Chain A
Amino acid sequence: MAVGPASVARASLAGRATSRRSLLERESVFSWVMLAPGVLFLLAFVAYPFVYGIFISLQDRRVASPGSFVGLANFVAQAQDAVFWQVTRNTFIYTIVATFLKMTGGLAMALVINQQFRGKNLARALLLLPFIVPTVLSTVAWMWIFDPTFSVINWTLRHTGLVTENFSWLGNATLALVSIIIVNTWRGLPFYGITLLAGLQTISPDLYEAAAIDGASVTQRFWHITMPVIKPVLIIVTMFSVIFTFSDFQLPYILTHGGPANATHLFATYAFDIGMSAGQLGMGAAVALAMLPALGLLIVALTLYLRRE
């Protein structure tokens, strides 16, 4: 039988398809094909900006100008800047206090909404609202809440006779930091609450029943059943929360822009002012990278702890 050119081409195509299929059937190849989109995404939107940030932090890089390598000069300059140390202090206080409040409040929230009560699902949905509303929008609402004249907090305090004069929530240095911590806590609570609720729901009710029969008190059940089960979730949530809080920008930027007199300046807002307003991209990148050691240590420590557990 004569073999025409068409059948040769068909055979060659079929052969190529088969070899492609067999290639994909190899686990090592298939796994990389599946991972590729994610890896490319991370390379483009996480690795590249990160490496580029390190690159320009080592340069005297002014806006719209080529940079020149200056080594660690930007970091040295920051170390000699009193405002930078105030920003460092603010960021640590802000992160530690807000994270603690979110952790304890979120845990309490999760424990409450894990109970059976009428309207449970509605309550769960409503509790998510602070997390869903765009930060810019909710922060503008908080601006009104902290306004000296129109503040609902001041109004309530005065009308209940608790105070005679309005608090200057955003004008007083201490209260301004307290105010941004309050707003951050309000916004971050649902993240803790819902994630911990997911952890709580994995606990079998049988465990609680058995413990109750054995005479364990509510506190004992919490420490010996609830906590061990949700601890890994709590650690992961805390890790994320610390990262988000440490690098918070929108909230302080809108509410106070770092004022009064730098009392609420955080790493992100200060880096933005130096990089964008002053046009010193290299120096701005150096300020932003100052967050890295603390966050890196935290992530490594928590990851090691999780592995050990």
Chain B
Amino acid sequence: MATRREFLTVTASTLAGAALTPRSAMGAPKSMTVVRESSFIKPFDDYFAKTLAGEYEKSTGIKINYEAVSVGGMLTRLTTIAETKAGPEIAMTALNWPHLFDKSLVDVSDIAGEIGKQLGGWHENVLEVLVVNKKWKALPWGNIGQLEVYRTDWFKEVGVNKFPETWEDLLAAGRLLKKKGHPFGFELGHGFGDNHGWLYPLFWSYGGREVDRDGKTVVIDSSETAKAVDFCRKFYQETMFEDVLGWTDVNNNKAFFGEQISCTNNASSILEVGLRQFPDIAKVTDHAMNPSGPKGRFHVLNAVSHAVLTHAPDQAAAKAFLRWLYDDKQMSRWLASANAYYAPFLHGYDNHPMWNVEPRYLPYKECLKTSRPHTWPGPQGQAASESVAKYVLVDMFAKACRGDSTKDVVATAATQLKQIYKAK
């Protein structure tokens, strides 16, 4: 039988050993938490929380907790996680957030390389928002496209059987529809998605740019910008009504289901909600790509991705989970549960069966080719985020629509951008 002295010596050495052993060598963590913004597609959230998390726990013994943040609240949540260096090990990112949180995110280039090789390679345009200093800071999941959502029955009533190809043709259709009591409703207020969703593409399609690729030369004060602003004012005055100037992201959805508007710019969530709650409206709802302008056709890129936080006690375990999640066996099923709400950035999924279920979602796949991040072609980073957060572009158009002169609104935007980009 061991003496008291021997017992204490053994216990103390065991405890000291345990304290000094690297955490990863102590075995896998018991649980990890994944935080995501709540999706509009309930089956998608449920599939992760109830099916995938359970499967992973069964095969590895690691419990995966799912934390859902309300829509629009993910950036704030990510900020608190990064600032406190505590909380979930894996987080959803969107837009250019990997650039903002660069120092708090683990390099996942190795996993991105493996997945890319297995599944046909990544769409090139997503690299701009995720790769920071040549390192992948998040794994792209899918793009939430912003497209034209319109009432086919009302468009047909005014003789427009196919969605217009150009902004000018859309304006012509809008004039007729407004006369018939079916105005357009495109957000021009301080929302977080549906305003940028059409204003950046409109701006780009007329040749407008906020800042050059160098991120130092503000180029917004141009004849191309002036043309875009003039068109927008006309488009607003002749097809819409004053309220859109104050709309946030909920308003256009509400107006569409209230049968107040015939066309808006939105993600596929309108049709998704329509199919569940407003079947009569869903029957006559369709999607189209943004119209093209003199300089082409554009869409905004909103790359929903997953990143590992540097404070994760076991980064290897968190990366192992992402490697498992992005395996075709899991990823394919989870994507399918989202009813095409997320357009995957992998070429291997260009013809995924998820696209065959509802052909009206196909434009969300097609728009990937012409999608660009906000503030493109300027570099992604703090200044780009500041420009978006201050609604420089949105307010430039909104002020023009309420009656300010093109010269004044462009000059104000140029001054703001020069301050933001610290340019001369």
- Judged by a CB distance under 8 angstroms, whether B315 is at the interface is no
Measured between C-beta atoms, what is the minimum distance from B297 to chain A in Å?
27
- Judged by a CB distance under 8 angstroms, whether B241 is at the interface is yes
Residues of chain B within 8 A (CB-CB) of A176 are 246
Q: Which residues, 215 to 255 on B, are CB-close (under 8 Å) to A?
A: 241-248, 250-251, 254-255
Q: Which residues, 365 to 424 on B, are CB-close (under 8 Å) to A?
A: 382, 385-386, 388-391, 395, 398-399, 402, 412, 415-416, 419
Q: Which residues, 230 to 288 on A, are CB-close (under 8 Å) to B?
A: 256-262, 273-274, 276-280
Contact A257 B385, beta carbon cutoff 8 Å: no
Which of B76, B248, B260, B398 is within 8 Å of A257, CB to CB? B248
Contact A150 B389, beta carbon cutoff 8 Å: no
Contact A63 B390, beta carbon cutoff 8 Å: no
Interface string of B308-335 (1 = CB under 8 A from A): 0000000000000000000000000000
A→B interface (CB under 8 Å): 62-65, 77, 80-83, 143, 147-150, 168-173, 176, 256-262, 273-274, 276-280
With A147-B254, A278-B386, A278-B390 known as contacts, the answer to whether A260 contacts B75 (CB < 8 A) is no
Contact B395 A261, beta carbon cutoff 8 Å: yes
Interface stretch of the complex, out of B124-132, B168-176, B185-193: B185-193
Residues of chain A within 8 A (CB-CB) of B75 are 276-277
30 contacts between A and B (CB under 8 A): A62-B100, A63-B79, A63-B101, A64-B82, A64-B102, A65-B103, A80-B419, A147-B254, A149-B258, A168-B243, A169-B246, A172-B246, A173-B402, A176-B246, A259-B245, A259-B247, A260-B188, A260-B189, A261-B245, A261-B395, A261-B402, A274-B386, A274-B390, A276-B75, A277-B389, A278-B382, A278-B386, A278-B388, A279-B79, A279-B100
Contact B398 A273, beta carbon cutoff 8 Å: no
Which of B190, B243, B399 is within 8 Å of A148, CB to CB? B243
Residues of chain A within 8 A (CB-CB) of B244 are 171
How many residues belonging to B are interface residues under a CB distance threshold of 8 Å? 43
Which of B191, B245, B382, B391 is within 8 Å of A172, CB to CB? B245
Residues of chain A within 8 A (CB-CB) of B389 are 273-274, 277-278
Which of B82, B254, B391 is within 8 Å of A63, CB to CB? B82
Q: How far apart sit A261 and B391, CA to CA, in the bound complex (Å)?
A: 8
Contact B242 A168, beta carbon cutoff 8 Å: yes
Q: How far apart sit A62 and B389, CA to CA, in the bound complex (Å)?
A: 14
Which of B250, B388, B402, B416 is within 8 Å of A260, CB to CB? B402
- Residue of A at shortest CB range from B383? A278
Contact A172 B412, beta carbon cutoff 8 Å: no
Which of A81, A149, A169 is within 8 Å of B419, CB to CB? A81
Contact A278 B260, beta carbon cutoff 8 Å: no
Measured between C-beta atoms, what is the minimum distance from A170 to chain B in Å?
4
- Judged by a CB distance under 8 angstroms, whether B104 is at the interface is yes
Contact A168 B100, beta carbon cutoff 8 Å: no
- Judged by a CB distance under 8 angstroms, whether B214 is at the interface is no
Measured between C-beta atoms, what is the minimum distance from B99 to chain A in Å?
9
Residues of chain B within 8 A (CB-CB) of A172 are 242, 245-246
Measured between C-beta atoms, what is the minimum distance from A281 to chain B in Å?
8
Residues of chain B within 8 A (CB-CB) of A262 are 391, 395
With A273-B390, A279-B100 known as contacts, the answer to whether A171 contacts B385 (CB < 8 A) is no
- Judged by a CB distance under 8 angstroms, whether B83 is at the interface is yes
Contact A64 B189, beta carbon cutoff 8 Å: no
Q: How far apart sit A279 and B79, CA to CA, in the bound complex (Å)?
A: 8
Residues of chain A within 8 A (CB-CB) of B247 are 170-171, 259
Residues of chain A within 8 A (CB-CB) of B386 are 274, 278, 280
Residues of chain B within 8 A (CB-CB) of A276 are 75-76, 79
Q: How far apart sit A63 and B103, CA to CA, in the bound complex (Å)?
A: 9
Which of B102, B388, B398 is within 8 Å of A277, CB to CB? B388
Q: How far apart sit A277 and B104, CA to CA, in the bound complex (Å)?
A: 17
Which of B79, B190, B416 is within 8 Å of A256, CB to CB? B190
Q: How far apart sit A30 and B318, CA to CA, in the bound complex (Å)?
A: 53
Contact B419 A256, beta carbon cutoff 8 Å: no
Q: How far apart sit A278 and B421, CA to CA, in the bound complex (Å)?
A: 13
Which of B100, B245, B254, B395 is within 8 Å of A171, CB to CB? B245
Which of B242, B398, B416 is within 8 Å of A261, CB to CB? B398
